[in-house]
Amino acid sequence: HLMPTAVKLHRRRRAANMAAHMRRLTHRSYSQVQTDFSSNRVRRTFTDFFHELYQHIIVPSSPVRPRGDPSLLFVNAGMNQFKPIFLGAADPRSEMATYRRVVNSQKCVRAGGKHNDLEDVGRDVYHHTFFEMLGNWSFGDYFKEEACIMAWRLLTEEYRIPPERLYVSYFAGDATSGLPADEETRHIWLSMGVPSDHLLPFGMKDNFWEMGEIGPCGPCTEIHYDHIGGRNAASLVNADSPDVVEIWNLVFMQYNREADHSLRSLPQFSVDTGMGLERLVTVLQGQRSNYDTDLFTPLLSAIQQSSNCPEYRGRTGEADVGKVDMAYRVVADHVRTLSVCIADGVYPGMSGAELVLRRILRRAVRFSTEVLQAPEGVLASLVPTVAHILIYFIYFQIMDIINENEAQFLSSLKQGRRVIDRTLQRLEKNDTLFPVPVAWSLHRNLGFPLDLIGLMLEEQGLSVDQRALDVLAIENEKLRCQVQTSGDTLVHLDLHSLAQLQSGEVPHTDDSPKYHYSLTQDGKYVFQPCHATVQALYCGQTLVSEVAGGQRCGVVLDRTCFYAEQGGQSHDQGYFIRDGLPDVLYPVEDVQLAGGYVVHQVTAAEVLRKGDQVQLYLDEPQRLACMVKHTATHVLNFALRQLLGSSVEQRGSHVAADRLRFDFSGSLSIPQLQEIERSIHNIITENNAVYIEEVPLARAKDIPGLRTVDEVYPDPVRVVSVAVPVADLYDSQTDRWTSVELCCGTHLLTTGEIGDLVIISERQMVKGISRIVAVTGDDAREAREAGQVLTQEVESLSARLAMVTSLSLADANRLAKEVGILTDAVDCTPIPQWKRRELQTRLKGLQRTTNTSIRKLETKEVSQAHNPILIPLLSLAPGTLVMLLSHQQPSGKVLCACQVALSASDWALTVCVRLGGNAGGSATVAKGTGSVANLTEALRCAEEYAQDKTQNRC
């Protein structure tokens, strides 16, 4: 577009002033650069610079667990929390929708998924699994020139880095993609005085940034730093040289990568920059290694004091004898990651991000105990040092979690080390490959991360066939998942269609009718009818004016009473009819919210056109069931806090028509489960009113005892309070502690409508995090009744066992089978969880009783059967070695009896172990049991043993 002359002149003058300033800075020698920048000062200088000089809003770092983004294990870049803005999907009522200029320091973890630095950590001096990303953003405000000027001014003036040490790269274009070179950025840098030999073009790999396979993307310009100086280091830029490193990436969001891999211009251009704090601090503190800065040196010192190793020397590769310095780096990096993740609610576990964190912990434990020879507990003892450096978390619970997980792994580590040592002894002298089955067994059965196995073998000069391991991992994953995925996909508005709706001034959907319902005097909920107009139709990633019958499409209405899935509550179901076509139903299969528009997924029964008038009908029983479960979830949350204290934290929840799920920090005993249900029952019986009111977000945050989760809340926000009117919550004289939460969900108007609540499951998902599953109403009543029935059956079986004075082997086996069937029923039937645990304990006792009876009866039978044979044989041939094996029915076991002059117990043990069992006895008489596997093989083993012992005696 044409630029006004005055603006052009202003920019030329500003660029000329910047160039003159750069010439002055160029004469400054590196020795004059101050190195008094602490890491805290570097971070603060960055945010203050953009906030005070360029009016950027300082936004706090989001937790490392991504907000509602299943495509990511961890937040791995500063822009993650702003993805709704880039995608045009930010809630127009939220503060995020108002952002234009933003700055922050974001906690990031790169250990899994597309960006995974885990296996590189420790090998060099600059890779990390946890790091902080400094960044500034413009959302449709300033663009390339302003971003470059701000960045250069910060680096050369505020941080006082000599300009001659800096090199700038820009996008050279890509013919395949039809993208021209970014000459605009090149001219901006030249006009600012960057020498042409410090300004370098690169292609898609280095200077074109993409959010993912699809989504916003654009050319970027990077600033690199030469640690050496006094030379022209242009040839080392983007050459993986440790001497010339990238410190800042300025991304210009201009395009969107479409599903067909084509590029379309974005409706709004933005700036997204990222600069690693660790790498910047290394430069400003005059170091060559990130581990030599104040972000790590206190940690390395603490590690040295806790271990039996010499102090850290910063060596890498072959110079690092025994990989001691690598171990220092691994432990220092990993304990930072563990501390930050656990503080943000990600605990070591068995899937997803939790599994990655478990790998990190086990890797750290192994290097700490085996390489650094540190005693157990050292890893957790480093957490206070991390907290002192990073400031932003409390560490006591973190230490407990790390200690518990370390103790679990150390047992596996010792066992795994023995397996590796035994395997190495069996290998031929020239073997360099470790057996793949053994490596997989270490991973699958003992929980060894595959990369850790590789490191342990590398220390022995061995390797493992990685391709064969990958095949096993893929096959195992297929077996584990076996999830049938449907070819149907949900209809989601893309950012171009959202921009079209906004530019076409299509108003956001008024979804307030979803809250329009009332409770009649006879206890029935009445949902008000809703009439709407079709505002837009979305089909095949395109906005269309009409859809034909049979087509699946997204329908945007001017208003709706359907609840879009959000806040952990499932979406509504139902249908709508078109005016003039009352007998044709358009079923609503899914409801989603995007950028203020509610999208109803519909398979059109007949033609549907933009502008059509429709009448909406909810599936009222389904909606009411969700309302019951959502209010019950709030009451459950409150009851947990009453019992466990205010420190208990919600870690997730989901509300559906059939049940509710609630994740929290902690766990519950049988008495606590009973107390929780009693507390909830009291609240239901009291039939308290549920008060709901919209209030300004800032005002809501002043409510004492308010419970919130890590979400971006709209403004104003809905406050849901049980028993106490919202206005009274601000009164400091109010002494009634109650359930009060910020929530966009639909709720009951009184607690009595819950009817009943039963916790049918409570189990630990990962260390420190438990999941409750509960049912309400008739389902809760049925669960209680089922629990009573199973209790009676267990009591009946227990009484029958107690009354039996003498059992036959057949009777004992029949009773054991009954115990097993009843155990399965208790495990699988929806009953109160506290009752399930009681019954499981009793059934385990009954199982032990029946098993003991069976063993005694079988032993008695074999003695009665074997003795008449053993005695005559021994009397005829006193020096004979005799062993008898008998196959028992119906248990399927093999009973063994032997009598010899020497080592009968050893003989029996050798044979029974071969049969998968055990044996015992004296030197002359022994007995044992095993399972039917290969009796012929067992007999051969017995004969070989006897012959060997006999020959040795002779």
Could you tell me which residues are annotated as the binding site?
Answer: 630, 634, 743, 747
Annotated binding site for Zn(2+): 630, 634, 743, 747
Question: What b-and-e string marks burial along 587-621, b requiring 16 or more CB atoms within 10 Å of the CB?
Answer: ebbbbbbbbbbbbbbbebbeebebebebebbbbee
Measured CA to CA in angstroms, residue 184 lies from 143, 181, 199, 255, 290 at distances of 11, 9, 13, 16, 34
Distance CA(129)–CA(337), nearest Å, equals 7
From the list 954, 892, 896, 889, the residue with the least C-alpha distance to 925 is 896
Alpha-carbon torsion (499, 505, 509, 510), positive or negative = positive
Measured CA to CA in angstroms, residue 642 lies from 518, 650, 737, 835 at distances of 30, 14, 9, 22
Q: Concatenated DSSP letters for 847-877?
A: HHHHHHHHHHHHHHHHHHHHHHHHHHHHHH-
677 neighbors 759 (Cβ within 8 angstroms) = yes
In which residue are the tokens 């160039």 written? 19
Distance CA(406)–CA(211), nearest Å, equals 36
Q: Concatenated DSSP letters for 575-625?
A: EEEETTEEEEEEEEEEEEEETTEEEEEEE-SS-EETT-EEEEEE-HHHHHH
Say how many C-beta atoms besides its own lie within 10 A of residue 152's C-beta: 25
From the list 82, 107, 133, 56, the residue with the least C-alpha distance to 253 is 82
Distance CA(550)–CA(606), nearest Å, equals 7
452 neighbors 119 (Cβ within 8 angstroms) = no
Bridge partners of residue 754, in order along the sequence: none
Distance CA(41)–CA(949), nearest Å, equals 78
- DSSP-derived letter for residue 569 is B
Measured CA to CA in angstroms, residue 196 lies from 224, 334, 669, 903 at distances of 15, 41, 70, 89
3-state DSSP: the chain helix, strand, coil percent, rounded to 5?
45, 25, 30
From the list 579, 578, 577, 604, the residue with the least C-alpha distance to 589 is 604
Helix (H) or strand (E) holding 11: helix 5-26
Residue at 614: amino acid letter? V
Between CA 555 and CA 559, with CA 556 as vertex, the angle to 5 degrees is 125
From the list 928, 933, 888, 885, the residue with the least C-alpha distance to 906 is 928
Assess whether the previous peptide bond of 890 is cis (omega < 30° from 0): yes
Helix (H, G, I), strand (E, B) or coil at 334: helix
180 neighbors 203 (Cβ within 8 angstroms) = no
**What backbone phi and psi angles, to 5 degrees, belong to 165?**
-85, -5
**What backbone phi and psi angles, to 5 degrees, belong to 194?**
-70, 125
Distance CA(164)–CA(168), nearest Å, equals 11
Say how many C-beta atoms besides its own lie within 10 A of residue 891's C-beta: 19
Helix (H, G, I), strand (E, B) or coil at 752: helix
- Structure token digits, residue 536: 């837009």
Say how many C-beta atoms besides its own lie within 10 A of residue 14's C-beta: 15
From the list 478, 438, 477, the residue with the least C-alpha distance to 456 is 438
576 neighbors 586 (Cβ within 8 angstroms) = yes
